[in-house]
């Protein structure tokens, strides 16, 4: 049994991670200020003796005895982080700094939830970890992209300077039950619109691509990376290499929901990356991981979640 801190533990990914860690009997502390996380995601855990909620902002320093730290605290939806760019940048940078200090003083291993956004609008396709990316440092997505890039810098400098054991994972688009219904991500938006008989909002011409990974696969990868030997630092890409256009996604959601909704094309978002697909060769060789759940299978589970959410 380990003492594990999950920052952002009430979020979409964080709450699924807490579920697994609690079920295995670990002593789990979930740190969240509910800026983008939700109490509903973790309400079922509150009665568990090995689960503790710390309602606190990751930008404030904290002292706690831990063996492992997962840092997931940061708004991750483009709509949300563009509305709150300064809060987002601070959560990434100050949050990482605080948790790295904690890792340094306790000797804990620390995991960083980095992102495919470090590649920006990529000119190399698919993206390997060795690609340095194409990020506009002053654009509307920079608060997130540069925040996460800066966090990676801090992780590697704490490792080099203070021998902190780090695990950096670059997470590509992930979807599944407990995605926020209001933060404007494409999978949640389109499913909700289809279920409610509203037009499906396709940004631009819908030819931009993403590669969607089901949450259970992503959580498995996080756990596996944390359990690697201390030489394994990352960064390591985690995502589903099956690429699809947003138009294909919209059509699949219409088919799976049986919805009669139409597609509505709306202007493209600024700096929206046109293509995104992970090269996962490193994940395959280092943690023997590749996604097990197809887009169709994962969407069926996610549609069922939003269906009951609307009831
Ligand atoms: N998108 C869309 N309709 C929506 C929301 C998003 O067409 O209602 C597009 C968006 O422009 C982007 C892709 O879907 O090209 C993925 O957007 P999301 O916000 O889910 O995540 P991102 O990968 O951009 O971080």
What is the Cα Rg of the chain in Å? 19
308 torsion bin: left (phi>0), alpha (psi -120 to 50), beta (else)? alpha
Mutate to test the pocket of ligand 1, among 12, 203, 212 (most ligand atoms within 8 A of CB): 203
* Residues recognised as catalytic: 144
Which of 233, 100, 90, 79 lies closest to 162 in space, CA to CA?
A: 100
β-bridge pairing 200-203 and 174-175: unpaired
Q: Is the Cβ–Cβ distance between 173 and 213 less than 8 Å?
A: yes
Assess whether the previous peptide bond of 142 is cis (omega < 30° from 0).
no
Q: Which atom number of ligand 1 is nearest to the Cα of residue 200? A: 8
Given this model, what pLDDT does residue 311 score? 87
Residue nearest to atom 13 of ligand 1 (CA): 186
pTM, 2 dp: 0.96
187: CB partners within 8 A, 6+ apart: 173, 175, 179, 212, 249, 299, 302
Q: Is the Cβ–Cβ distance between 11 and 35 less than 8 Å?
A: no
Which of 276, 265, 266, 269 lies closest to 209 in space, CA to CA?
A: 276
61 CA distance to ligand 1 centroid (A)? 33
Query: What are the residue ranges in the chain where pLDDT is below 50?
Result: none
161 HSE (CA, 13 A, CB side): 10
DSSP classification of residue 225: H
Rounded distance, CA 288 to CA 168, Å? 16
Rounded distance, CA 186 to CA 204, Å? 13
186 CA distance to ligand 1 centroid (A)? 4
- How far, in Å, are 48, 69, 169, 192 from residue 243 at the CA level? 39, 31, 20, 22
Report helix, strand or coil for 134. strand
Q: Which atom number of ligand 1 is nearest to the Cα of residue 193? A: 8
Given this model, what pLDDT does residue 76 score? 96
Given this model, what pLDDT does residue 125 score? 93
Structure tokens at 31: 């740190």
Which of 183, 190, 10, 218 lies closest to 226 in space, CA to CA?
A: 218
Domains recognised in the chain with CATH numbers: 3-174+214-239+277-292 (3.40.50.720)
Q: Which atom number of ligand 1 is nearest to the Cα of residue 190? A: 8
Query: Element (H or E) spanning 156, and its range?
Result: helix 142-162
Given this model, what pLDDT does residue 310 score? 92
Residue nearest to atom 19 of ligand 1 (CA): 185
Q: Which residues of 166-176 are buried (b: 16+ CB within 10 A; e: fewer)?
A: bbbbbbbbbbb
202 CA distance to ligand 1 centroid (A)? 8
Given this model, what pLDDT does residue 40 score? 96
305 CA distance to ligand 1 centroid (A)? 20
Query: Element (H or E) spanning 112, and its range?
Result: strand 109-115
Q: Is the Cβ–Cβ distance between 108 and 65 less than 8 Å?
A: no
Residues with C-beta less than 6 Å from any ligand 1 atom:
77-78, 173, 184-186, 189, 201-203, 208, 210, 246, 269, 272
pLDDT in tens, 241-266: 999 999 999 999 999 999 999 999 99
Residue nearest to atom 14 of ligand 1 (CA): 186
């Amino acid at each position: 049994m380990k003492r594990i801190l999950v920052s952002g533990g009430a979020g979409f990914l964080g709450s699924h991670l807490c579920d697994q860690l609690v079920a295995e009997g670990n002593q789990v502390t979930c740190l969240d200020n509910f800026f983008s996380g939700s109490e509903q995601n973790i309400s079922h855990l509150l009665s568990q003796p090995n689960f503790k909620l710390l309602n606190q902002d990751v930008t404030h320093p904290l002292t706690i005895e831990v063996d492992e730290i997962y840092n997931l605290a940061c708004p991750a939806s483009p709509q949300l982080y563009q509305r709150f760019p300064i809060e987002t940048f601070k959560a990434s940078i100050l949050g990482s700094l605080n948790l790295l200090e904690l890792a340094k003083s306790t000797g804990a291993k620390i995991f960083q939830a980095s992102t495919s956004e470090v590649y920006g609008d990529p000119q190399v396709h698919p993206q390997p970890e060795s690609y340095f990316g194409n990020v506009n440092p002053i654009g509307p997505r920079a608060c997130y992209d540069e925040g996460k890039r800066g966090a990676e810098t801090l992780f590697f400098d704490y490792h080099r300077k203070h021998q902190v054991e780090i695990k950096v994972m670059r997470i590509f688009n992930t979807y599944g039950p407990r995605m926020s219904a209001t933060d404007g991500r494409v999978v949640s938006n389109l499913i909700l619109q289809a279920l409610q008989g509203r037009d499906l909002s396709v940004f631009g011409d819908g030819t931009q691509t993403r590669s969607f990974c089901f949450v259970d696969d992503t959580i498995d990868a996080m756990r596996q990376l944390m359990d690697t030997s201390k030489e394994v630092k990352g960064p390591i890409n985690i995502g589903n290499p099956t690429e699809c256009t947003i138009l294909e996604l919209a059509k699949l959601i219409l088919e799976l929901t049986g919805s009669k909704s139409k597609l509505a094309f709306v202007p493209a978002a600024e700096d929206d990356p046109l293509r995104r697909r992970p090269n996962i060769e490193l994940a395959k060789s280092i943690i023997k991981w590749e996604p097990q759940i197809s887009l169709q299978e994962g969407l069926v589970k996610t549609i069922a979640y939003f269906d009951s959410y609307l009831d």
